Amino acid sequence: MAAADTITGKGALVLFSGGQDSATCLAHALTRYERVETIGFDYGQRHRIELEARLKVRSAMAGLKPEWAGRLGEDVTVDISGYGKLAESALTYERVIEMGQSGLPTSFVPGRNLVFLAMAGAHAWRRGLDVLVAGMCQTDYSGYPDCREDTLKAQERALALGLDMDLSLDTPLMFLTKGETWAMADQLGGDALITLILEETHTCYLGDRGHRHDWGYGCGTCPACELRAAGWQDWQEGRAS
């Protein structure tokens, strides 16, 4: 999805984790919406690194363009760590990341995106924001059923009905490959945004910040790192051709 050419008068709430995808979504929102706020979730992650990264990325994002700084408003982090204990996945407990008996990877946190969107919707209602912006993607979604377009359309409808408001869900990465996500970030913020994503965003499931690769920091072997690395390679090859 290309960046919008004109700013809408709507206000947006970005589900912001501090990873590559949410950083790209924040740039998208700052390019498209007049007023932008962010929300993050402490759901009992195994690693606190992404909670630290999100604040660094958010602060740096405001410094990339004066107009972005003017549009970026408040941030809130919601403590739902009890939910992480209930979910009990490889992202919240010390478990091996592999394919589980359910046919889904053990990194799947059941219902995570549905919980995030419900809480974000409530916050948007309180803050008078019209749009939830989120980085779910059906192209590179690791088999997670709560990243599918059908799931999210149903959740959008449920939120609009349950909150009795015209709340919409903007998922700009839904049909992009990871390589196309890199390209979108470049289109939105150029070299400065790409450098920020490389140096400050965190994707690695194992919380590794000790190894620097061409595509950023991470262990290089978990599914999240492999996907990010493959996307970087695809984007680089596309630029060279």
pLDDT at 134: 97
Residue 101: pLDDT band by 50, 70, 90 thresholds?
Answer: low
Query: Could you give phi then psi for residue 178, rounded to 5 degrees?
Result: -65, -35
Q: Which two tokens stand for residue 232?
A: 């970087």
Taking 90 as the threshold, does the pLDDT of residue 43 lie above it?
A: no
Q: How many CA atoms lie within 13 A of 180 on its CB side?
A: 12
Q: Which residue has the higher pLDDT, 53 or 139?
A: 53
Residues 186-220 pLDDT 10s: 999 999 999 999 999 998 988 899 999 999 999 99
pLDDT at 49: 87
Range scoring the smallest mean pLDDT among 20-24, 108-112, 157-161: 108-112
| Average pLDDT across the chain, whole number | 87
Residues 78-97 pLDDT 10s: 998 877 666 665 455 455 45
Strand order in the sheet with 168-170: 72-79, 33-42, 8-15, 131-133, 168-170
Cβ–Cβ under 8 Å, residues 223 and 142: yes
pLDDT at 47: 73
pLDDT at 103: 53
pLDDT at 225: 93
Residues 134-158 pLDDT 10s: 999 887 656 678 888 999 999 999 9
Kindly state the percentage of the chain with pLDDT values over 90.
66
Find the helix or strand (DSSP H, E) in which 156 lies.
helix 149-163
Taking 50 as the threshold, does the pLDDT of residue 3 lie above it?
A: no
pLDDT at 142: 60
Average pLDDT over residues 36-45: 90
pLDDT at 2: 35
Q: Which two tokens stand for residue 27?
A: 């740039």
- Which among 131, 96, 99, 106 has a CA at the least distance from the CA of 15? 131
pLDDT at 98: 44
pLDDT at 1: 32
Instruction: Output the CA–CA distances (angstroms, integers) from residue 195 to 57, 62, 180, 215, in the order listed.
Output: 11, 14, 16, 10
Q: Provide the 3-class DSSP secondary structure of residue 187.
A: helix
* CA atoms of 161 and 173, how far apart (whole Å): 25
pLDDT at 228: 95
Residue 158: partners with Cβ closer than 8 Å, 6 or more residues away: none
